Structure 1
Amino acid sequence: MDIILIKDVDNLGGRNELVKVKNGYARNFLIPQGFAVEANPSNRKQLEERLKVAAKKEAAMLAQINSVVAKLQEGPVKIGAKTGTSGKIFGSVTPLQISRAIRDQKGYDIDRRKISITDDVKELGTYKASIDFGNGQTATVDFEVVGE
């Protein structure tokens, strides 16, 4: 029996996927539990519409991410830090500080959990951070640590 999965099912498939299973498994478990619907012509048409809508949303999101990446790569983000006489900073720069600097200087609110710093930032200078937007989309942003 052909069915359309409504939710992800382990060892079977993901959401909005058309799969073939045994009749008893579909009628006695998947359909009553709300994991799937029968793949009749009406449900297949609805699936096609859902996939078209999802593709449009993904394209719009990708365009928005590309505009954010272009804006972030225009120039480095400046982060102020208290320093000692030798140029070393007290503490280190965190993703939270980078997130706040991007929000203040570039106008984009990026979650700190999506930002990862490749190096330990303990001195003044220019460094790189990676931002993971999800769906395999990443960007590298330069940030400059300056003394306050």
Structure 2
Amino acid sequence: MGLPGTIPPAQGPARPALAVVDVQPHLQQPATDRGPGRLHLSAEGASRAAGGSGGGEAVKVILLRDVPTLGRAGTLVEVKEGYARNYLLPRGLAREATAGAIRARDVMRQAEEQRRARVQREAEQLAQGLSALILEMRARAGAEGRLFGAVTAQQVADALRQRGFPVDKKQVELEHPIRVEGFHRVAVRLPTGRLVQVTVNVVGQR
């Protein structure tokens, strides 16, 4: 009971204590149409999980696949231990950067660089040979020079291979078959993606 003349405090339901929740980045569930092993973190969530606060000490891993916000396959990166242990390693996205793993990565990287250099060198030689070539092809034609048939991309590829050029039908970009005799420019796409123009001379036979 209070002192005389004082107003007693109002009675009512007690207020709940204020709860402060620390929201941590969480993994998004992969959609059913996504392939296995793909990263399904949002860019912000992946960045925080990889290098943000929490997750233990930083560790080095080698990426086995391309991972958004981290890098491409073969890259040596530093991430939080928890992120590596709970996400990257069990999903086959990375491996521990042991001395042996780093040596193996360097060997594979060197082999890949040598392969790319070889492909580039062979493509350059092929481009020079095709650019200087005049490919003569014979086909039956009428008096006005129109062919009774047509010269197709497959026939151009076959003729190039007979002359020692490793070209298949898919590399010959011929919009329409050649139906008249004479000189024609035919595009050939090299393995590097470069387009080379080949001169094809269709000689009509009567």
Fold shared per TM-score above 0.5 = yes
| Residues 105-133 of structure 1, C-alpha deviations (whole Å, 9 max, x = no match) | x2123111111025652211111222222
CA distance in 1 between counterparts of 2:179 and 2:68 reads 45
The equivalent residue for 1:94 is 152
Contact in 2 for aligned 1:118/1:129 (Cα 8 Å): no
Amino acid at match of 1:141: V
- In angstroms, what is the RMSD of aligned CA positions? 2.7
**TM value normalised by structure 2:** 0.59
Contact in 1 for aligned 2:119/2:192 (Cα 8 Å): no
**TM value normalised by structure 1:** 0.77
The equivalent residue for 2:190 is 133
Which protein has the bigger helix share?
1
The equivalent residue for 2:12 is none
Instruction: Give the secondary-structure state (helix, strand or coil) at the position aligned to 2:148.
Output: coil
The equivalent residue for 1:39 is 97
Alpha-carbon distance change, 19 to 101 in structure 1, aligned in 2, over 3 angstroms: same
Instruction: Give the secondary-structure state (helix, strand or coil) at the position aligned to 1:146.
Output: strand
The equivalent residue for 2:35 is none
CA distance in 1 between counterparts of 2:178 and 2:105 reads 49
Higher relative contact order (CA 8 A, sep 6+): 1
The equivalent residue for 2:7 is none
Amino acid at match of 2:171: K
| Residues 33-82 of structure 1, C-alpha deviations (whole Å, 9 max, x = no match) | 43321234443333223222211121122222222222222321112222
Query: 1:16-27 maps to which residues of 2 (within 5 A)?
Result: 16-19=74-77, 23-27=81-85
Question: Aligned residue pairs: how many?
Answer: 147
Amino acid at match of 2:166: D
Residue 14 of structure 1, CA deviation = 3.7
| Runs of 4 or more consecutive aligned structure 1 residues displaced over 4 Å after TM superposition | 8-13, 19-25
Structure 1: give runs of 5+ residues left out of the alignment: none
CA distance in 2 between counterparts of 1:118 and 1:143 reads 14
Percent identical: 28
Contact in 2 for aligned 1:118/1:130 (Cα 8 Å): no
